[in-house]
Amino acid sequence: MPGFELFGDKERKEVQDVMDSGVLMRYGFDGMRNGHWKTKELENGLSERMQSKYAHLVSSGTAALTVALASAGVGAGDEVIMPTFTFVASFESILAIGAVPILVDIDSTLTLNPDAVEKAITPKTKVVMPVHMCGSMANLGVLKAICDAHGLLLLEDACQAIGGSYNGKPLGSVGDLGCFSFDYVKTITCGEGGAVITNNKSYYENAHMYSDHGHDHIGNNRGAEAHPFLGYNFRISEMNAAVGVAQLARLDEFLAIQKRNYTIIREALSVIPQLEFRSVPEGGEENYSFLSFFMPTEDLAQKTHQALSDNGVDGCFYWYNNNWHYYKKWEHLTEMKSLGKLPKDVQESLPDYSKADFSESDKWMSRNISCLIKLGWSETEVAERAQKMVEAITSVL
Ligand SMILES: *Cc1c(COP(=O)(O)O)cnc(C)c1O
């Protein structure tokens, strides 16, 4: 997954352009910037690559989710459906705007189970937020149909799946809004950065204003800009965007390496009949940043995880016990441990997750192992790694 493995001359050149002018801000200073608008360049490149009319860059993927929700008018008391397996940013962004995170089960795709989504819909539901975890996607066709039938927004968190596609469309571009992260460990990185993509002009304009204090960006005099509504500062800097310009240009190169490395390992593991690969919805193409599979039981999954590590295979995750990615360890959410008081709507409406039954999610997550696919491995290294993985997994069976 990590683009940081392959930094080089392209990144250096883009950053040097910004250093030479000294203009680190994305707005203004037209005369000083030697014609360089790295943020705009990256936005144009992204909207083209993601087949979306608009792309707006912000300071992180978490910011992108927050801005996306705000741009569509989601606010206090609205319910947002999200999966039990994701990164904590999902509920952080929902809570940040005073909305209520409604956790629902995942299935063998490791993403939202559409039946569970349908059951969770209430009159307060505004958004369904699938998270394309570990390089593969939710069943977007079914989720879109559900959203259309109930008048809900579909917001794709494609932070971990940039470059994947569904029925030929880039992940992130299928929903009303899509979000990406370019943090340090994502497939392409800016250091810190994120993006919102959409075909909806008004969401785009709202995102643009909201992420810069509500300023309308009309005219060249920054101090004279109007602010039609309240906003915040989620701006990205030109330095970060410059790195992203170089990395986006290399996305297809990175994806090809990931796919090659993934395929070598997957073919090797295919000889183990007890091992079941994560399912990918029909019409979906992963970005191959992880290879995820299920062992027959929780016990065997734990033993496999240990055996992989003992056999020198790093980068394999047992998310079930991970503090960041699975609801079981989100006691800060379930016990509402915030620094100050949470908004009233949240206090009143947040379901009591200590009593929630997510045994369907547990069934998949307790048996799942996800292994990171690195870009820096040579074909020989991948083949050796694949062999070590087969040895480790068969040793516990
Ligand atoms: C990384 C990530 C985010 C947040 O991105 P940041 O840029 O780190 O804020 C959100 N969702 C998912 C699924 C992620 O993996």
Residues 238 and 266 placed together within one structural domain of the fold? no
Dihedral (CA of 317, 329, 132, 7) sign:
negative
Ligand 1 contacts CB of residue 60 (under 6 A): yes
- Cβ neighbours of 143 (radius 10 Å): 27
Domain boundary among 250, 273, 290: 250
Q: What is the distance in A from the centroid of ligand 1 to the CA of 55?
A: 17
Any idea which residue has 């993509």 for tokens? 197
Best residue among 82, 181, 186, 243 to mutate for probing ligand 1's pocket (most ligand atoms within 8 Å of CB) is 181
Residues 243 and 263 placed together within one structural domain of the fold? no
Q: In terms of residue numbers, what domain contains 373?
A: 252-396
Ligand 1 contacts CB of residue 330 (under 6 A): no
Mean pLDDT check: name the lowest of 74-88, 215-229, 323-337: 215-229
Encode pLDDT of 313-352 as tens digits.
999 999 999 889 999 999 999 999 999 999 898 999 999 9
Ligand 1 contacts CB of residue 111 (under 6 A): no
SS3 of residue 283 by DSSP: coil
- Using the atom order of ligand 1, give the atom closest to the CA of residue 86: 13
CATH number reported for the structural domain that contains residue 23 in this entry: 3.40.640.10
Residues 268 and 138 placed together within one structural domain of the fold? no
CATH number reported for the structural domain that contains residue 372 in this entry: 3.90.1150.10
Residue nearest to atom 6 of ligand 1 (CA): 61
Q: What is the mean pLDDT of residues 138-167?
A: 98
- Using the atom order of ligand 1, give the atom closest to the CA of residue 183: 7
The tally of domains found in the chain comes to 2
Residues 93 and 227 placed together within one structural domain of the fold? yes
Residues 3-28 as b/e (b if ≥16 CB within 10 A, e otherwise) read: bbebeeeebeebbebbeeeebbebbe
Spell out where 142-289 has E strands: 153-157, 165-166, 169-170, 177-181, 194-198, 276-277, 284-285
Q: What is the distance in A from the centroid of ligand 1 to the CA of 185?
A: 9
Ligand 1 contacts CB of residue 181 (under 6 A): yes
Domain boundary among 216, 250, 284: 250
Encode pLDDT of 173-214 as tens digits.
999 999 999 999 999 999 999 999 999 999 999 999 999 999
Residues 102 and 187 placed together within one structural domain of the fold? yes
Q: Which two tokens stand for residue 331?
A: 């006691």
Encode pLDDT of 32-78 as tens digits.
999 999 999 999 999 999 999 999 999 999 999 999 999 999 999 99
Would you list the DSSP string of 193-231?
-EEEEES-HHHHHHHHHHTBTT----SS-GGG---SS--
Q: What is the mean pLDDT of residues 275-296?
A: 98
Q: What is the distance in A from the centroid of ligand 1 to the CA of 253?
A: 22
Cα atoms in the 13 Å half-sphere on the side-chain side of 49: 19
- Using the atom order of ligand 1, give the atom closest to the CA of residue 192: 7
Ligand 1 contacts CB of residue 131 (under 6 A): yes
- Using the atom order of ligand 1, give the atom closest to the CA of residue 131: 13
Q: What is the distance in A from the centroid of ligand 1 to the CA of 182?
A: 8
CA gap 384, 352 in Å, rounded: 47
At a CB cut-off of 8 Å and minimum separation 6, what does 206 contact? Answer: 70, 71, 72, 73
Best residue among 159, 211, 287, 292 to mutate for probing ligand 1's pocket (most ligand atoms within 8 Å of CB) is 159
Q: At what angle do helices 379-396 and 298-310 cross, to 10 degrees?
A: 130
Ligand 1 contacts CB of residue 318 (under 6 A): no
Residues 61 and 207 placed together within one structural domain of the fold? yes
Ligand 1 contacts CB of residue 293 (under 6 A): no
Residues 271 and 386 placed together within one structural domain of the fold? yes
Residues 302 and 330 placed together within one structural domain of the fold? yes
Q: What is the distance in A from the centroid of ligand 1 to the CA of 101?
A: 16
Express as a percent the part of the chain with pLDDT over 70: 99
Question: What confidence score (pLDDT) does residue 132 get?
Answer: 98
Encode pLDDT of 101-129 as tens digits.
999 999 999 999 999 999 999 999 999 99
Question: What confidence score (pLDDT) does residue 7 get?
Answer: 83
**Which residues are marked as active site?**
186
- Using the atom order of ligand 1, give the atom closest to the CA of residue 182: 7
Cα atoms in the 13 Å half-sphere on the side-chain side of 96: 18
Residues 231 and 281 placed together within one structural domain of the fold? no
CA gap 24, 66 in Å, rounded: 24
Residue 222 confidence (pLDDT) above 90: no
Region of 29 (left: φ > 0; alpha: ψ -120 to 50; beta: rest) is left
Residues 345 and 221 placed together within one structural domain of the fold? no
253, with CB counted inside 10 A (0-12, 13-18, 19+), is: exposed
Q: Which amino acid is at 273?
A: P
Question: DSSP code of 154?
Answer: E
| Closest to 181 measured CA to CA, from 159, 161, 149 | 159
Question: DSSP code of 349?
Answer: H
Residues 201 and 257 placed together within one structural domain of the fold? no
CB 89, CB 62: distance < 8 Å? yes
Residue 4 confidence (pLDDT) above 80: no
Question: What confidence score (pLDDT) does residue 66 get?
Answer: 98
Average pLDDT of the chain, as a whole number: 96
Question: What confidence score (pLDDT) does residue 1 get?
Answer: 60
Ligand 1 contacts CB of residue 157 (under 6 A): yes
Q: What is the mean pLDDT of residues 223-239?
A: 94
Domain boundary among 199, 234, 250: 250
Ligand 1 contacts CB of residue 240 (under 6 A): no
Residues 171 and 237 placed together within one structural domain of the fold? yes
